[in-house]
Chain A
Amino acid sequence: MQTLTILAAEEGHELNPLVPHPIEMVLSLVVFGLLFFAVKKWVVPNFEATFSERTSAIEGGLAAAETKQAEADAKLAELDRQLSEARHEAARIREEAREQGATIVAEMREQAQAESTRIVEHGKAQIEAERQQAVTSLRAEVGSLATGLAGRIVGESLDDEARQSRVVDRFLAELEGAN
């Protein structure tokens, strides 16, 4: 046993580690070759597919987000526009209402003015007409009364129409002149 160990050690000392073992040389190439083909066929395509899928998913997500953002921006602008339109509309309506109110007030005032004027005019006309009527009837009455009275006093018939009216008129004119 002792000699065997020493022999082995001597053998080991002799062995040049740079000299390759032929079986190991072949084995290394075969094993690595198998690993290479297996990896090339079943591992690398999977990783590459995952990477590219992930890249496109991220890019797609970004594009979708951009679209959404643009849509939201457009919607916001639209709403803003509608809001400002509504504000304008409201202001316009208010303005219109104010104008209309003013117009109505003015019209009403005008109408009332006209009405009052009309009523006053009407009253005046009526008064004038009544006065005319009174004057006319008074004149006729006063004439006949005075004629009658004078006829009685002077005893002279004044039935002659023309003279009678002339006398009366003169009388009345004098009367008015005295007024």
Chain B
Amino acid sequence: MSSIATSVTRADGFTPPGPGDFNLPPIGPDKTFEFLGEHMYLGVTKPMIQLVLVAGLVFVFFWAASRKRAMVPGKLQYVGEQGYGFVRNSMGRDIIGSKDFLPYVPYLFALFFFLLINNLLASVPFFQFPTFSRAGLVYTLALMSWFVYIGAGVKKHGFVGWLKLTCVPSGVSPAMYPLLVPLEFMSNILVRPVTLALRLFCNMFAGHMLLILFALGGQYLITEMSIQYAPVGILAWLLFIVISFLELLIQFLQAYVFVLLNAMYIQGSLADEH
């Protein structure tokens, strides 16, 4: 297969990586179906397996870490408590406020580690695929965040009260309302889930694309071009390593930002003043 691929690339020149590299074929027979005018694979794919695996891993790890409930924690419990305490205190308590953060802690906690480990899988050998570079997986999480922060506001202020608090800015003369209310509605209710989803998806997608480009490009320069291009190929591979570390940072940051924004949106919905 690889000999065929190289013969193809030699025939066509270098084929840059594209969105097709993220559309991995399923394990087993690759049937397809049509959805929104696109051909989709029908079957179990790598990101699906990663998603389920990570959920199981996160649960088992934290369940094992929290099970003993020792006053003086062992290593496992200590790590678990640090992880849990990080989300609980820095994102739950400090953002939402110590009065009503506790009900949202399980949500924020599960979400953060679910995103974090899935993102980090992009840098784990043998997986090396960012689960959330698949848009569909991210859209529902963003939609869920939307329901959660709106639900928090509606539960506290009632639907009309929440809508008013969210869309009508306080301390502004009513003359400005025709201009500001649609803007606030747009930014607080319509745009938030979209940016939430695109930020995570695009970062994961672009980061992985960049890594493929440096890896394949470097390989092409070394193996397929004349010898004077080989140092450039080696430089590309060195950059690949540097960018891998940058990606680790981005993988963490995107999980952090997604959950942090969730917490801030919830806080905004619960707040008595806009």
Interface residues of A (CB under 8 A from B): 1-2, 5-6, 8-9, 11-29, 31-32, 34-36, 38-40, 42-44, 46-51, 53-54, 57
Contacts and interface: CB of A to CB of B under 8 A. Distances in A.
Contacts of A48: 102
Given A17-B135, A29-B140, A50 B81 contact: yes
Nearest to B38: A19
A29 B138 CA distance: 9
B71 A54 contact: yes
Contact of A46 (B7, B35, B36, B66): B66
B128 interface: no
B114 A22 contact: no
A24 B41 CA distance: 11
A114 to B, nearest CB: 87
Q: Binding site of B, secondary structure by majority: helix, strand, loop or mixed? A: helix
B5 interface: yes
Contact of A22 (B47, B55, B69, B136): B136
Contact of B106 (A11, A22, A31, A36): A36
Contacts of B139: 20, 25, 28
15 contacts: A2-B8, A5-B5, A6-B8, A15-B39, A19-B35, A19-B36, A22-B40, A24-B136, A27-B137, A35-B55, A36-B111, A40-B107, A44-B105, A49-B69, A54-B71
Contacts of B125: none
A177 to B, nearest CB: 126
B157 interface: no
Nearest to A44: B106
Contacts of B37: 19
B134 interface: yes
Contact of A43 (B22, B63, B136): B63
Nearest to B23: A15
A18 B135 contact: yes
Contact of A25 (B80, B114, B136): B136
Given A38-B63, A44-B105, 12 more contacts: A14-B38, A19-B135, A23-B136, A25-B136, A28-B140, A29-B140, A31-B55, A39-B62, A39-B109, A43-B109, A50-B77, A51-B85
